[in-house]
Amino acid sequence: MSVTNWHATILHLLGLHHDQLVFDRHGLKERLTSLYQPWIVKEILA
């Protein structure tokens, strides 16, 4: 499991959508889950 997938899974559990969560860094909007498309790891969800 990559860090990006881990972040997306945690955000999903918190009720947040990983594509819509952005932060301002040096005037640019960046996603917490990087540029790559992460997936939610459903195998670890109970």
The confidence score (pLDDT) of residue 39 equals 87
Residue partners of 32: CB distance under 8 A and separation at least 6: 7, 11, 18, 21, 22, 23
**Mean confidence (pLDDT) of the chain:** 86
Q: Domain locations in the chain?
A: 3-44
The pLDDT tens digits of the residues spanning 13-22 come to 999 888 888 8
Cα separation of 23 and 31, whole Å? 6
Burial readout 28-43 (b: 16 or more C-beta within 10 A, e: otherwise): eeebebeeeebeeeee
